[in-house]
Amino acid sequence: MASTATLIQPSGELWKKIREELNEDVNTRAQDLAAIKEWLRKQPHLPDEWEDACLMTFLRGCSFSLEKCKKKLDMYFTMRAACPEFFANRDVTRPELMDLLNRAQGPTLPGLTPQGRRVTIARALDKNLDTNQLNDVFKLAMMIGDVRLREEVEGIAGDVYVLDASILMPSHLAKISPAVLKKFFICIQEAYPVKLKEIHVINASPLVDVVFNIVKPFLKEKMKKRVFFHADVQCLQDYIPKEILPVEFGGNGCSLEDVNKAWMKKLEEYSPWFKQQEALKANEAMRPGKPTNYDELFGIDGSFRQLSID
């Protein structure tokens, strides 16, 4: 059972191809890592140290640009302080999170596409799912994201997300909070080392257009071009091989149900780690120069403020 949440790592030719794509030089990556660790120690407002595996995932996600990596890390720890609704109380055994995991699924699949990309599929199973639970939905998504910071030990060529909109109801729209969405998209685009290659929305209805119009202002230009809408599940096979797609989505990979259960178990095993990670966040009182103004950062009208990094 546990194997369905084990992320299969690239090897052989694919591994070599991904190294090139990530701009990763096996001979110099140790000194890049050392440089980032030294930089982190010198930032009075950031944690003094963090796990090598997580830092390496950031370097890869930033194509080994040290400047870009510093900016992302600063933003990552800033968001951890700014959004306790996403980053605190990350114990998957809490009743509200258990309830959510039984009514919705959003696991990352174990395999890789031929290009070396990782696929995550999200769908709700219960049309009475309350959109007030969005904070917890995003919390779970970032818990999986944080586990992957540790477990993507070889690096991947990017991420593909599949969102199943089949149970989207008109009643859901009234409760969608643009403020929550904006925070989430700042996290994903500015604070996580994710190379988002494609987002596929399946079972798209006219309601999906309405939701997309709410989300669109929070997406970077290049991201808007990477969102594809499909009326049904068949079209997915043009993008994702059948071997990877779960049986519920017309593929012959493992069942999404099984992968979801395995991730629930994995998140539970990670509970002590999540608890320990809570202390790792930016301390604005110690930030050199001007502290981050959260209102400015999340202002629904203002564009994302760029953090200045020395």
Q: What is the pLDDT of residues 111-165, one digit of tens each?
A: 999 999 999 999 988 877 776 688 899 999 999 999 999 999 999 999 999 999 8
Beta bridge partners of 198: 160
- pLDDT band for position 306 (cuts 50, 70, 90): very low
206-232 pLDDT, tens digit each: 888 888 888 899 999 999 999 999 988
How many domains does the chain divide into?
1
Element (H, E) at 160: strand 159-164
* Gyration radius of the chain's alpha carbons: 19
pLDDT-wise least confident of 9-13, 166-170, 214-218, 285-289: 166-170
Separation between Cα atoms, residue 303 and residue 218, nearest integer Å = 9
Q: Please give the model's pTM, rounded to 2 decimal places.
A: 0.92
What integer best gives the mean pLDDT of the chain?
A: 90
Encoded amino acid at 17, one letter: K
Instruction: Spell out a b/e string for 38-74, using b for 16 or more CB atoms within 10 Å of the CB, else e.
Output: ebbeebebbbeebeeebbbbbbbbbebeeebbbbbbb
Q: What is the pLDDT of residue 169?
A: 76
CB 65 within 8 A of CB 73: no
pLDDT for position 125: 86
Please choose, from the candidates 161, 125, 126, the residue with its C-alpha nearest in 3D space to the C-alpha of residue 236. Answer: 161
Residue 53 to residues 30, 148, 208, Cα–Cα distance (Å): 12, 10, 37
CATH number at residue 252: 3.40.525.10
**Average pLDDT, stretch 59-74?**
97
- Domain of 16, in residue numbers: 1-310
Instruction: State the DSSP string of 188-227.
Output: IIIIS---EEEEEEES--HHHHHHHHHHGGGS-HHHHTTE
CA 100 – CA 90 distance, rounded (Å): 13
Are 309 and 76 contacting, i.e. CB atoms less than 8 angstroms apart?
A: no
Rounded to the nearest 5°, which phi and psi values hold at 164? Answer: -95, 115
